[in-house]
Amino acid sequence: MRIFNLFKRSDIECPRCLGKGFVDWEDIARLNRRLKWVPAPCAYCNATGKVEKEMLSKVAVDCMYLTIDLPESVIEKIKEGDRETVEKGKQRELFVEFLIQYAEHHYFTQNMDAESIANLYLKNEAENAPFSATREELIKYIQGVIELKKSVLN
């Protein structure tokens, strides 16, 4: 698939990475995707820094689930607007939103630390969750949520 891109005209600066081909912390803050992305090569422009005009109308710049760690076949499906793939992406975004709120709530109202929140989550919520995460991943993630929320307050 990728070879065809060589012959397509694509001269619009990528609005996600601003033409750098890499999404850094500044881009993540600008697009309001903190806690959802980490710095990585840009999936929106495939790290080229340029996008085709039609991409702008097909996929939102801040589309959370379009990230470089996805298999290329999934990235193509997102770009094509494949309904099942887009739906799965939305579910994932909702799950992440839920986790953030869950962590925030227990941190602020119960004064719990990341590890206790992760344990509570695994005990009560994990069974019905649409996506699974290991205990270590959860603790690390919840720690990140707490740190960001604390820094916003200060």
Give CA–CA dist 101/146, Å, rounded: 10
Shortest gap between Cβ of 88 and Zn ion (angstroms)? 23
Amino acid at 101: Q
Shortest gap between Cβ of 138 and Zn ion (angstroms)? 30
Q: Which is nearer to Zn ion, 52 or 113 (CB)?
A: 52
CB 92 within 8 Å of CB 131: yes
Q: Which is nearer to Zn ion, 28 or 145 (CB)?
A: 28
Amino acid at 52: E
Q: Which is nearer to Zn ion, 14 or 146 (CB)?
A: 14
Shortest gap between Cβ of 61 and Zn ion (angstroms)? 9
Beta strands in 9-133 (DSSP E): 12-13, 22-23, 40-41, 50-51
Q: Which is nearer to Zn ion, 70 or 133 (CB)?
A: 70
Neighbour tally for 95: CB within 10 Å: 14
* Chain residues in the site for Zn ion (CB under 5 A): 14, 16-17, 42, 44-45
Shortest gap between Cβ of 120 and Zn ion (angstroms)? 38
